[in-house]
């Protein structure tokens, strides 16, 4: 038991944030935001800067939120609106209650990584902070079945001021909306997914980009494919959600150049979806 504790403590206190972009880059008011995950402790870092700067120059803000590192690893679900980050923190820790995993975090409260910002303190901050909303979608699927298979989710803060989650398990998928006081959800659709997916909004419609790169419109009425495709697997890249220009694009990881201004890189390398 002592050896396990020591190993776990080491796991939480070493490593710097990895530089693989989780799910997406968001552009808002001339600034970009993306998250990376530390491979050792699974904590998230919010990277931010100006769109006309290279991402190597980004500020790296330590977040009291992160993902699981058991299988399957689910990419970190997050969104940013104005001055707040909305995140589903699935940190694998004995005290982390996944029914309280949905967090709202002020960007202004985040500090840059330094020797005084410790992973353990961030993990405890995440555990002790009140949820933005109780994770009813997760509670629903675990009550519906005690078998977890094909379990994936993603979340966004929609333009109607609702927090939206798409969640799948055992070949079923449902869409959930939190109004700020209560949840409502779609019917449960028979919709096996081919791996993790990403959720985004365009012109007040909600879309899923499947792991294969195929885009589907998701509503309470059902899931239907649209004539859009990023031409690659989600494993190969990330979305670019430009709220200033109201566009959705996809970029392959292989085209990411940290030394080139982000707006120039998007113009040259991104695949326009909407």
pLDDT tens readout for residues 112-170: 998 889 988 999 998 899 999 999 999 999 999 888 899 999 999 999 999 999 999 99
Which is nearest to 20 in space by CA: 34, 7, 8, 10? 34
pLDDT along the chain (274 residues), means of 10: 39 47 94 93 94 93 90 88 93 86 96 90 91 96 90 94 95 94 94 93 94 91 88 92 96 93 94 94
Cα 251 off chain centre by: 16
Is the pTM value of this prediction over 0.85?
yes
Q: How many CB atoms lie within 10 A of CB 109?
A: 13
For position 72, what pLDDT does the model report? 75
Tokens 């796991």 correspond to 11
For position 19, what pLDDT does the model report? 61
For position 86, what pLDDT does the model report? 97
Q: Cis check for the bond before 72: say yes or no (omega within 30 of 0).
A: yes
| CATH T-level assignment (fold) for domain 2-272 | Tachylectin-2; Chain A (2.115.10)
Q: Domain extents for the chain?
A: 2-272
């Amino acid at each position: 038991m002592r050896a396990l504790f020591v190993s776990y403590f080491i796991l939480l206190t070493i490593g710097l944030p990895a530089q693989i972009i989780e799910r997406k880059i968001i552009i808002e008011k001339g600034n970009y935001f993306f998250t990376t995950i530390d491979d050792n402790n699974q904590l998230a870092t919010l990277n931010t800067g100006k769109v006309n700067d290279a991402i190597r120059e980004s500020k790296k803000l330590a977040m009291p939120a992160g993902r699981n590192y058991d299988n399957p690893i689910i990419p970190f679900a997050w969104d940013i609106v104005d001055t707040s980050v909305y995140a589903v923190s699935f940190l694998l820790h004995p005290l982390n209650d996944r029914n309280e995993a949905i967090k709202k975090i002020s960007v202004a409260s985040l500090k840059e990584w330094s020797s005084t910002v410790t992973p353990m303190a961030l993990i405890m901050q995440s555990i002790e902070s009140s949820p933005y909303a109780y994770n009813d979608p997760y509670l629903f699927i675990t009550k519906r079945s005690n078998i977890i298979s094909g379990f994936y989710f993603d979340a966004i803060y929609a333009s109607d001021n609702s927090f939206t989650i798409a969640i799948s398990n055992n070949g079923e998928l449902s869409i959930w909306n939190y109004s700020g006081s209560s949840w409502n959800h779609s019917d449960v659709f028979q919709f096996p997914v081919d791996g993790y997916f990403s959720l985004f909004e365009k012109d007040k419609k909600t879309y899923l980009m499947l792991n294969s790169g195929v885009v589907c419109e998701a509503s309470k009425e059902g899931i239907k494919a649209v004539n859009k495709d990023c031409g690659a697997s989600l494993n190969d890249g990330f979305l670019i959600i430009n709220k200033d220009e109201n566009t959705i694009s996809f970029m392959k990881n292989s085209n990411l150049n940290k030394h080139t201004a982000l707006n120039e890189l998007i113009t040259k390398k991104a695949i326009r979806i909407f």
